[in-house]
Structure 1
């Protein structure tokens, strides 16, 4: 996360756009080549895959994902989402973050006029955008870090997110997922580019010792699913401190302590986390050894 944010903030936009275009072209060519060779992943393949790594009926599961990292998936995002929902069954809940912000939170919030829960597209990949638009998906109303949920407890996970003044506090889907003993799946991504669950600890402890939030609180408009407009106040991350993140350096600790397991989904390197253990271990090691995503070895900044 830190390196990505540093590059984004120090590279001219036209160069970023050119690089993204080149990268997308290269990825698409690789996927076409996989299809040509018959290296096709089907919905049934994904169902078997998800079950083999420990996704079971009744799970509360939050998913971060990169479709291209999985390989050539027949049916695209729909096949991935359908496979996940099949594995979870009628008693499970599937959650996906789908922030419309593809840049720094501070830049985004300064230019935001109104967050429209129905129409603001996800900037977090094709799977999340497909999931967001499902008729039975409920999207939380937080303007910087919305999360959508499909399942019997979708209202519980999403309906109070906007009531906190920070995105990851006790009313957030991330905190509620930990409270419910849920799981987090990182498909083809890692903590460096999808480390939102790590922020729960910062919001859960009393007076977190580092200035992770920008000093100014922002009030913006939001339009809910029924078209009603109201206001919400929220803090956003301090970009100068965000640049100090070393999220992936925490992975060895999580794996060693049984918080996370490295698995595979298709061709994608994947991590499966226990959400409750993740939060509990982050609080414990912060309080006992000073370990955070900024100080993964317990050193002081």
Structure 2
């Protein structure tokens, strides 16, 4: 049985900087038995990163679309698992207003981190929370999941203007912010499912030391810092822009 203390010890063993910024993608089931369940996992990560910034993706791309265009910071559940839904309801977190690719952040700079995400026109715009992960050289934890769940890589492709990654037509969506305001959000959504092809670079990223591994609970963890991954992918995608495309 894993406890908050044992999980805290594992985060320390991974070498995660508590004064920096960390983003968690993960499968709760992969962790095994945890005393207190998923809330213990959220609380552990928030506690460990208290001097810095802890971020959880709370995506809603599967439930907010042209047919159902309304997103609410306070009410819309995430479609990516137990941990994001617990995190978005945890005291102290602030959730962004992006209608499809929101995050919830914990820490003294959380409000500034998520500010104005609802004003961006793509899922992972450079001036959004996803781009700020690069600015902060955040650590991205993939717990019990692979690179195909690494949303940051979608951001890299956006910032490098890789062709055919965004839909040409836009959708008009609506975000109900935490203060009750309803904002119109014009979105060019992701095109296709190229994320399933992100593992094509796993061997290369391991070889050059960008991608590391460890354990959290029972789960295998892959993790990397944002800036080295960006620089490595910039080289690879410059050489082959359709690296993650269909073959």
Residue deviations 1:74-128 (CA, integer Å, cap 9, x gap): 1112211222122223x2100011112347xxxx412223111110011111111
2:106 is paired with a residue whose SS is: strand
Give the TM-score normalised by structure 2. 0.93
User: What corresponds to 1:66 in structure 2?
Assistant: 27
Residue deviations 1:20-63 (CA, integer Å, cap 9, x gap): xxxxxxxxxxxxxxxxxxxx111111011111011232020000
Structure 2, unpaired ranges of 5+:
none
Residue deviations 1:179-223 (CA, integer Å, cap 9, x gap): 11110001111122x121111122212x42x31212211111111
What is the aligned residue count?
Answer: 247
User: What corresponds to 2:191 in structure 1?
Assistant: 238
Matches within 5 A, 1:43-192: 43-89=4-50, 91-102=51-62, 108-192=64-148
User: What corresponds to 2:198 in structure 1?
Assistant: 247
Q: Is the counterpart of residue 284 in structure 1 residue 235 in structure 2?
A: yes
State whether residues 244 and 294 of structure 1, in contact with CA within 8 Å, keep that contact through their aligned partners in structure 2: no
Query: Cα offset for 1:245?
Result: 4.2
1:279 is paired with a residue whose SS is: helix
Q: Aligned pair in 2 of structure 1 residues 284, 243: CA closer, same or farther (>3 Å)?
A: closer
State whether residues 194 and 244 of structure 2, in contact with CA within 8 Å, keep that contact through their aligned partners in structure 1: no
State whether residues 31 and 219 of structure 2, in contact with CA within 8 Å, keep that contact through their aligned partners in structure 1: yes
User: What corresponds to 1:262 in structure 2?
Assistant: 213
Give the TM-score normalised by structure 1. 0.77
Q: Is the counterpart of residue 218 in structure 1 residue 171 in structure 2?
A: yes
User: What corresponds to 1:198 in structure 2?
Assistant: 153
In structure 1, distance between residues paired with 2:181 and 2:145? 35
User: What corresponds to 1:273 in structure 2?
Assistant: 224
Structure with the bigger percentage of helix: 1
C-alpha RMSD over aligned residues? 1.8
In structure 2, distance between residues paired with 1:291 and 1:218? 25
User: What corresponds to 1:36 in structure 2?
Assistant: none
Q: Which has the larger radius of gyration?
A: 1
Q: Aligned pair in 2 of structure 1 residues 292, 155: CA closer, same or farther (>3 Å)?
A: farther
State whether residues 61 and 95 of structure 1, in contact with CA within 8 Å, keep that contact through their aligned partners in structure 2: yes
In structure 1, distance between residues paired with 2:145 and 2:224? 13
2:65 is paired with a residue whose SS is: helix
1:72 is paired with a residue whose SS is: coil
In structure 2, distance between residues paired with 1:100 and 1:150? 19
